[in-house]
């Protein structure tokens, strides 16, 4: 009896949370003189609330499996010919984590798809707050809006993968990549109007964001914005992989060159940590925290 009761209570909390998010989005759109969100957008918000826990469980299981695999590899490297009596407890833990990860993977994918709409709704909220803010507070609200728009740009550039409407190496990917880059260029053009026509720009940005959300939830990743909005605009490229490559290659170069300059062995890790953190700050700016996992030596021994 306890489990069905707890499950019912959780469903109620999830529904209440989704209703609050939808109501907040509708209120923000009313403040911006924009129409109500479509059914697809509302369903995506509900789906994100219902799959958030499974997504967290999937991510946690994957992280723990990686940690166990790393520990096992380190143990084997230290004692490659060591004997093992019976089945190690880590094996049972790995099997359990694998089962949970497999069971939650589908809902994790659903959460990833719906999370794009959540990102857009946060940007819409920033638009509403910027429009109603006083002249003293408005610059800070514009900065917050710019940060949210960067998150939207990232989501748009990856929309073809998160929506899972095409194969990884499909011939359609090139066209979708070009379209996503044009959508980002259109958003940046609207954002630039914040410096000249802020009130009109905020409304325009909100309209573009909701159009993107509606088309994305309908599966039209190749038509996130109408063609008339994109004609003549140069596509923006996703350079995240290139930036990561620059950071990794630079760190490898520093690690190879450091001993040649007489750097003591004990000082190599602190130097790599400092250089790596500086590179992440320069390349990714406020997003640098997302890539700190690339620098495990920053965590210390």
Is there a contact between 111 and 51 (Cβ–Cβ < 8 Å)? yes
Is there a contact between 39 and 82 (Cβ–Cβ < 8 Å)? no
Buried/exposed 276-286: b ≥16 CB within 10 Å, e otherwise: beebbeebbee
For the chain, 301 residues long, the average pLDDT of each consecutive 10-residue run is 71 89 93 92 92 90 82 67 62 84 90 92 94 89 91 90 81 86 91 90 94 92 88 74 69 69 66 71 65 51 42
Distance (Å, rounded) from C-alpha 274 to C-alpha 137?
35
Nearest to 205 by CA among 271, 131, 298: 131
The pLDDT assigned to 298 comes to: 46
Is there a contact between 25 and 198 (Cβ–Cβ < 8 Å)? no
Residues 6+ apart with CB under 8 A from 138: 130, 198
Is there a contact between 137 and 184 (Cβ–Cβ < 8 Å)? no
The pLDDT assigned to 268 comes to: 64
Is there a contact between 26 and 36 (Cβ–Cβ < 8 Å)? yes
Nearest to 94 by CA among 64, 58, 60, 55: 64
Q: What angle do CA 249, 251, 257 make, to 5 degrees?
A: 100
Q: How far is C-alpha 25 from the chain's CA centre?
A: 20
The DSSP letter of residue 166 is S
- CA atoms lying within 13 Å on the CB side of residue 300: 0
Is there a contact between 124 and 21 (Cβ–Cβ < 8 Å)? no
Q: Looking at the chain, which runs of residues are DSSP E strands?
A: none
The pLDDT assigned to 233 comes to: 77
Other beta carbons within 10 angstroms of residue 100's beta carbon come to: 18
Other beta carbons within 10 angstroms of residue 266's beta carbon come to: 7
User: In this structure, what token pair is assigned to residue 53?
Assistant: 């826990």
The pLDDT assigned to 215 comes to: 93
Buried/exposed 223-261: b ≥16 CB within 10 Å, e otherwise: ebbeeeebeebeebebebeebeeebeeebeebeeebeee
Instruction: Specify the pTM.
Output: 0.77
């Amino acid at each position: 009896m306890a489990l069905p009761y707890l499950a019912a209570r959780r469903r109620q909390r999830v529904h209440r949370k989704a209703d609050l998010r939808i109501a907040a989005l509708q209120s923000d759109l009313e403040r911006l003189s924009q129409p109500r969100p479509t059914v697809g957008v509302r369903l995506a918000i509900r789906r994100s609330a219902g799959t958030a826990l499974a997504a967290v469980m999937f991510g946690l299981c994957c992280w723990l499996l990686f940690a166990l695999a790393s520990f096992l590899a380190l143990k084997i490297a230290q004692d490659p010919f060591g004997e093992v009596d019976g089945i190690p407890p880590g094996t049972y833990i790995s099997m359990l984590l694998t089962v949970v990860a497999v069971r939650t993977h589908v809902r994790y994918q659903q959460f990833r798809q719906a999370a794009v709409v959540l990102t857009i709704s946060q940007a819409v909220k920033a638009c509403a707050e910027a429009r109603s803010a006083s002249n003293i507070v408005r610059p800070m609200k514009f900065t917050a809006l710019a940060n949210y728009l960067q998150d939207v740009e990232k989501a748009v550039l990856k929309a073809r993968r998160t929506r899972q409407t095409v194969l990884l190496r499909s011939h359609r990917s090139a066209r979708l990549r070009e379209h996503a880059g044009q959508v980002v260029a259109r958003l940046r053009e609207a954002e630039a109007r914040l410096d000249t026509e802020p009130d009109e720009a905020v409304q325009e940005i909100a309209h573009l964001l909701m159009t993107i959300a509606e088309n994305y939830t309908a599966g039209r990743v190749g038509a996130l914005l109408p063609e008339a909005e994109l004609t003549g605009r140069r596509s923006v490229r996703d350079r995240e992989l290139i930036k990561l490559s620059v950071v990794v290659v630079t760190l490898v170069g520093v690690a190879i060159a450091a001993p040649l300059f007489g750097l003591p062995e004990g000082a190599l890790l602190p130097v790599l940590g400092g250089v790596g953190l500086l590179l992440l700050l320069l390349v990714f700016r406020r997003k640098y925290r997302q890539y700190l996992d690339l620098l495990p030596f920053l965590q210390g021994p």
